[in-house]
């Protein structure tokens, strides 16, 4: 585990397990607030999801005339590949400063299901007492085009208050079937357009953001303590919300939709040696 602390703002990162963010504690006034405090009972806690977030139907996809097959690892026995290939890989420390931790992982393309070499670089930057900026760079190291999508899977601690509230930007909900795969239909979703209590609500839902800005934000309000903003840049037009328990909620920025390697919705195709830079952040105020 690598730790970083700056002005009462601190993180713990598991470099051996996909550079996952395991803890984020920030300062507000005299209080230290554990906004991210993962436990082993969570699923893909703090993980980076690459080269695809969410699910690939049957673990199979086609790209530029070739067929590929990934290992299936979906939950509850569903026959899908889930959450990419880096969540259990070891990252190397590329740079560490007082308020910045940069990590890197290189993949040689040695798995038949994804024979596309790449480098993934992540930078965690602490800012002030209550802000965390996450910068990502993907580089296609191969000599062929590479399909990909990226997501992040943090769980936010709802046990700080029994009355946390969620506010979403304008979104549509992507309809899924019994295998949690898209049907191709979307419907308006007007709940949580203003702050609403989360207690009793369950989610495993993919949303498409309707209006993309340079920064696009989701908010969690903790009464009498403050408000958390999760922002994602224009590269992330999707958000997965996952909540099956009352003490945590996962808010997952995604660059593409569920099963994007098959349906192409939001899929990024990087040319040989092309790089892709993305950014998101957390702020408590």
Q: Return all residues near 202 (Cβ < 8 A) that are at least 6 apart.
A: 243, 244
pLDDT of residue 252: 98
pLDDT of residue 88: 94
The string of pLDDT tens digits covering residues 36-65 is: 998 766 679 999 999 999 999 999 999 999
What is the pTM (predicted TM-score) of this model? Answer: 0.95
The string of pLDDT tens digits covering residues 137-184 is: 999 999 999 999 999 999 999 998 889 999 999 999 999 999 999 999
Print burial letters for 234-249: b (CB count within 10 Å at least 16), e (below 16). ebbbbbbbbbeeeebb
Which residues in the chain come in under a pLDDT of 70?
Answer: 40-42
CATH of the domain spanning 2-160+243-284: 2.70.98.10
* 103/248 Cα distance (integer angstroms): 27
Nearest Cα residue to 217 out of 256, 250, 170, 169: 169
Nearest Cα residue to 47 out of 109, 5, 78, 89: 89
Q: State both tokens at 53.
A: 């977030």
């Amino acid at each position: 585990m690598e730790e970083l602390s700056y002005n009462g703002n601190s993180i713990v990162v598991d470099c051996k397990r996909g550079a996952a963010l395991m803890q984020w504690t920030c300062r507000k006034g005299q209080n230290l607030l554990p906004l991210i405090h993962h436990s082993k009972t969570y699923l893909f806690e703090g993980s980076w999801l690459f080269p695809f977030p969410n699910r690939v139907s049957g673990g199979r996809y086609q790209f530029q005339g070739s067929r590929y097959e990934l290992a299936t690892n979906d939950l509850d026995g569903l026959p899908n590949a889930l959450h990419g290939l880096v969540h259990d890989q070891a990252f190397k420390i590329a740079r560490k400063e007082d308020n910045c931790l940069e990590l890197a992982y290189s993949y040689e393309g040695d798995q038949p299901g994804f024979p596309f070499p790449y480098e993934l670089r992540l930078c965690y930057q602490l800012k002030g007492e209550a802000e965390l900026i996450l910068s990502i760079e993907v580089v296609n190291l191969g000599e062929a085009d590479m399909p990909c999508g990226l997501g992040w899977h943090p769980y936010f601690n709802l046990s700080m208050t029994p009355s946390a509230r969620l506010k979403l930007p304008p979104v549509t909900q992507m309809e899924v079937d019994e295998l949690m795969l898209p049907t191709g239909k979307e419907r308006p979703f007007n709940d949580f357009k203003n702050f609403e209590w989360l207690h009793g609500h369950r989610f495993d839902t993919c949303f498409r953001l309707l209006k993309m800005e340079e920064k696009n934000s989701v908010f969690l309000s903790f009464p009498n303590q403050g408000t958390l903003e999760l922002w994602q840049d224009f590269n992330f037009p999707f958000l997965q919300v996952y909540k099956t328990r009352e003490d945590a909620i996962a808010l997952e920025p995604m660059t593409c939709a569920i099963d994007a390697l098959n349906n192409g919705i939001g899929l990024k195709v990087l040319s040989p040696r092309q790089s892709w830079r993305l950014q998101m952040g957390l702020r408590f105020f």
